[in-house]
Structure 1
């Protein structure tokens, strides 16, 4: 499975350092590699162990960190992915407050490091200073427009109608990306990437947002999950239309898909992070049920409507003899 590289961007003061710290502190189920522009500007210092200068840094929770001051993105990704210890689950690149996120995205897309892939652009927006920031930085609208996920910070500091107004403006700028509220920078890391399952153990779909202990203050309690299973394969054209039209409240869709097209019987792993959609082709494990299993994660989800839309994608007749039906899937497929 390829390693997702997520770009975390936002203007100075938007709260992306807080988001990064919260991701690190709550990453109990994932092992993250973190690339930051400048250690001095990022509040991970309390998590660092001695001897970090000019090298990969080991953090207390098993994550790794390094600085873009020391080399190009490819050099740093190589350093992180070849470090000793368990494999990473994801890499987060924290862009400086003055960096152009599109430049960071281009570097990741152009990366030649084996096994890594672009995992999406996450743009942090300050709910308190939204309009002021837009006046000071007119490019904010462009950053929101290109985002795969928009994280709305400091939502605990402004009245709910103002939060709704900022969220609505972000959706006007980008109809595809979910707008995720993050009071005090708290975002469940599993909304952006997944842990690698332990050997000989397959995670149940519900585990993505379900904890053995039901603690009301845990971040995952802020989100809903809708699960879907079908023994019959899906019509790929209908399923791509469903993904394209999914509401902004759906932050993630993940799981395994079986398609009803002759010659395309492989298992397709689906991962969406906001607007970004990725399929990964693989073989069905021996003895496994060849069924479509999906979980949709978000806030304020209309479960009945989502399930209705997914059931409309089910194909119960003879396999489709039409290679072109898979074009929408293949455009987003990695081998």
Structure 2
């Protein structure tokens, strides 16, 4: 288990009912990439892919699927080949913009089934039209099921509803999905940092451990350029020389605090046979991925961060502190709760 871990490219599914603002959100991501390289897979329901024509020409690579819904006309192998092609181009993240009538649950299953060490599921972002949400749910009850499985709900067109309407709509969304963050935005403006960090690092920087301070400073450095987009979400960090209890850490990653969208970082496991390994953990919506590599220069330590919107920061801080409870040396199976999520090459 030694050596550098494969760093898969996260694959984010962007879904939402017709007219919610998916393409607007995607274009915003591309225009505010700040050095990140996004690969885009666009699907529209029709012989001419109108959505692909509307996507900004700033993506690192775009593949188009036309004349049908991706979850009905593409199999897992075909999708896996498309994702692998984009990942091989050196992108930092891949965004699948699904048709407005696509079935998100089927898309998630397809991404998970497209087993390739170069890609990993990065979460489901579901866009809703806040002014039209009630009417959409009444006319299309299946949308409620789509919202329920989202990892992040983006409430678009927040400028077109009153404060009272926004509160009521937020409560309805929370009832449908009590754990996903709900981010009210205008013009699909979400911070790309929610999906992936900037790739603008030198080779020397890449060899060192990315500290929690670096992660938080990154957002501060882009304050003006992002027009305070990141003010809508919170992050809670843990940076401590103490090791984790792998059983507790796995439980935290599998069931993160309400409002959490992403959890990531490095974990120190002080157990025989594991002290020399840095466990690189990532979690989105309960889907956990763990990589194993040698520790970078310096003493081992635990550095974790939770990012979300509407996050109970105190509860998240308590939950993070809880993973530092000393592991029981006699718990020989505790480490398996963490290592079962380790990504290995086929």
1:131-170, Cα deviation, whole Å (9 max, x unpaired): 1111221111111122222222112211223222222222
SS in 2 for 1:185: coil
Q: Provide the rounded CA distance (Å) in 1 between the counterparts of 2:226 and 2:194.
A: 18
Residues 45/18 of structure 1: CA separation in 2 closer, same or farther (3 Å cut) = closer
Q: Provide the rounded CA distance (Å) in 2 between the counterparts of 1:213 and 1:334.
A: 35
Aligned to 2:4: none
1:9-30, Cα deviation, whole Å (9 max, x unpaired): 1110111111111111111131
Do the aligned residues in 1 keep the contact of 2:16 with 2:128 (CA within 8 Å)? yes
Q: Provide the rounded CA distance (Å) in 1 between the counterparts of 2:117 and 2:94.
A: 14
Q: Provide the rounded CA distance (Å) in 2 between the counterparts of 1:324 and 1:18.
A: 47
Aligned to 1:6: 12
Q: Provide the rounded CA distance (Å) in 2 between the counterparts of 1:230 and 1:90.
A: 29
1:166-214, Cα deviation, whole Å (9 max, x unpaired): 2222222223322222222111111122334432115423244222555
Q: Equivalent of 1:179, from 154, 160, 182? A: 182
Aligned to 1:217: 227
Task: Write out aligned runs for 1:117-266 (5 A).
Answer: 117-196=120-199, 197-202=201-206, 203=210, 204-211=214-221, 214=224, 217-243=227-253, 246-265=256-275, 266=277
Do the aligned residues in 1 keep the contact of 2:52 with 2:64 (CA within 8 Å)? no
Q: Provide the rounded CA distance (Å) in 2 between the counterparts of 1:43 and 1:36.
A: 6
Aligned to 1:53: none
Residues 154/274 of structure 1: CA separation in 2 closer, same or farther (3 Å cut) = farther
Give 1:100 deviation, angstroms: 1.2
Do the aligned residues in 2 keep the contact of 1:109 with 1:118 (CA within 8 Å)? yes
- Which moved further from structure 2: 301-310 or 154-163? 301-310
Give 1:256 deviation, angstroms: 1.0
Aligned pairs, number: 318
Aligned to 2:291: 280
Unaligned runs of 5+ in 2: 1-6, 68-73
| TM-score when normalising by structure 1 | 0.84
Give 1:96 deviation, angstroms: 0.3
Residues 172/206 of structure 1: CA separation in 2 closer, same or farther (3 Å cut) = same
Aligned to 1:90: 93
Give 1:128 deviation, angstroms: 1.1
Aligned to 1:51: none
Residues 201/322 of structure 1: CA separation in 2 closer, same or farther (3 Å cut) = same
Q: Provide the rounded CA distance (Å) in 2 between the counterparts of 1:281 and 1:7.
A: 26
- Which moved further from structure 2: 125-134 or 212-221? 212-221
Residues 82/325 of structure 1: CA separation in 2 closer, same or farther (3 Å cut) = closer
Aligned to 1:52: none
Do the aligned residues in 2 keep the contact of 1:6 with 1:119 (CA within 8 Å)? yes
Residues 320/166 of structure 1: CA separation in 2 closer, same or farther (3 Å cut) = farther
Unaligned runs of 5+ in 1: 49-58
Do the aligned residues in 2 keep the contact of 1:261 with 1:323 (CA within 8 Å)? no
Aligned to 1:293: 303
SS in 1 for 2:84: helix
Do the aligned residues in 2 keep the contact of 1:68 with 1:76 (CA within 8 Å)? no
Give 1:293 deviation, angstroms: 0.9
Q: Equivalent of 1:80, from 78, 86, 92? A: 86
Q: Provide the rounded CA distance (Å) in 2 between the counterparts of 1:173 and 1:282.
A: 39
Q: Is residue 2:98 matched to residue 1:101?
A: no
Q: Equivalent of 1:328, from 330, 337, 341? A: 337
Do the aligned residues in 2 keep the contact of 1:30 with 1:195 (CA within 8 Å)? yes
